Amino acid sequence: MTEASLTKCLARLSSVSAGTWEILGISDFSGTLEDAVRRHDPKKPAGAVYFNFGELRLIAMMLLDPGDIECISKCFMGYSFPRGPVTTQTEEVMLLELGNIILNALTNSALNALKKSVMPPVPAYLEGDLNRLLEGVGAGVALKNNFRIIAASLAIKSDRSVARSEVLVLVPCELAREIEPA
């Protein structure tokens, strides 16, 4: 279900943008928010587009390497933002738009399986090390809570450049039990 939704989303992105978008793999596992964030190399700073579905305690995030913003912007918009020492507001807005498209495709399949209808939250962008990401993404969440984590690795390609990202949905275990019989 998740793969079908994400495949459809990436096919649409590939048809209207300058780059090609593909799924490298999808997995699911149980773990904490920290386990999910560690999908990105914890020794390197990461960027995260994320949102939390408050009362459902469902979290969605897209992890990326800020150094890949030039490739990502070329693939998404058709031109590269010249990379400076920090992420600019324009780059952040571009990442929020892209993350919103991909994360909504991913979370909609989970919400449909749960037979839940909620207003999608506004995404946020955060950049930093593991601890900074855990503090920001995990605001209001017990960091030791266990989730069922659906993770997709994506490749975003343009010409000779490739960017990779991880897209994750963290479903609280009690909600995951409602999906599994479906």
pLDDT value, residue 46: 93
Q: CA-to-CA distance for 96 and 171, rounded, in angstroms? A: 21
User: Is residue 12 a contact partner of residue 112, using CB atoms and an 8 Å limit?
Assistant: no
Residue range 2-179 in CATH 3.30.70.1520: no
Tell me the per-residue pLDDT of 22-42, one tens digit each, with 9 for 90 and over.
Answer: 999 999 999 999 999 988 887
Show me where the domains of the chain are located: 2-179
Tell me the per-residue pLDDT of 89-129, one tens digit each, with 9 for 90 and over.
Answer: 999 999 999 999 999 988 888 788 778 778 878 999 999 99
Q: CA-to-CA distance for 49 and 99, rounded, in angstroms? A: 6
Mean pLDDT of the chain: 87
pLDDT value, residue 114: 77
Tell me the per-residue pLDDT of 71-95, one tens digit each, with 9 for 90 and over.
Answer: 999 999 888 877 788 899 999 999 9
| CA distances to 35, 66, 169 from 150, in Å | 12, 23, 5
User: Is residue 33 a contact partner of residue 143, using CB atoms and an 8 Å limit?
Assistant: yes
23, 3, 8: which is closest to 157 by C-alpha?
A: 23
Question: How confident is residue 181, by pLDDT bands cut at 50, 70 and 90?
Answer: low
pLDDT over threshold 60, residue 147? yes
